[in-house]
Structure 1
Amino acid sequence: MTALWSSAECRSEHCASCAGERPFEQPGCADGHEPGECPEWACVSCGHAILLGSAQTARPVRLLATV
């Protein structure tokens, strides 16, 4: 996947719907992410949405009882 950054809110990515390299922008985030931190991106040409970023996982903590 190619990523040519031009700003925190705009980047170039391959769009599956357009079948080519297109500019992607971040729409307004309803989840409260700061600009440039939201994983949601939308193709400027067709609106195809993608999620980019690393997944955050929560591991359950298991306490061992010692006697």
Structure 2
Amino acid sequence: MTHAMTALWSSPERRSERCPACADERPFEQPPCLDGHEPGECPEWACLDCGHAITLGTVESTRPARQLVTAAA
């Protein structure tokens, strides 16, 4: 999925983003975070017009990457 970030920041907890349900640019807000993220750092956002939820940001790994070991020829 390719999506151009069109965010217009008015505060860390509000932004303008394209809503898939509304099919247009809409204001989004971060609902109260139950995962303990600081304000503005939670990846969950909700459209203020229809309530459609989206997740923005990067995925953080909780496990270290495994190294591939191959035999020498």
TM-score bracket, shorter-length normalisation: 0.7 to 0.9
Q: How many residues align?
A: 62
- Can you give the 5+ residue segments of structure 2 that lack an aligned partner in the other structure? 68-73
Percent identity between the two aligned chains: 66
**TM-score, normalised on structure 2?**
0.78
After superposition, the C-alpha distances for 1:20-56 in whole angstroms (9 at most, x for unaligned) are 0000000000011110010000000000001011111
Which residue in the other structure is 1:31 paired with?
35
User: Which has a greater percent of strand?
Assistant: 1
**TM-score, normalised on structure 1?**
0.85
**What's the C-alpha RMSD, in Å, of the aligned pairs?**
1.3
* Shift, 1:59, TM fit: 2.1
User: Which among 1, 12, 17 is matched to residue 13 of structure 1?
Assistant: 17
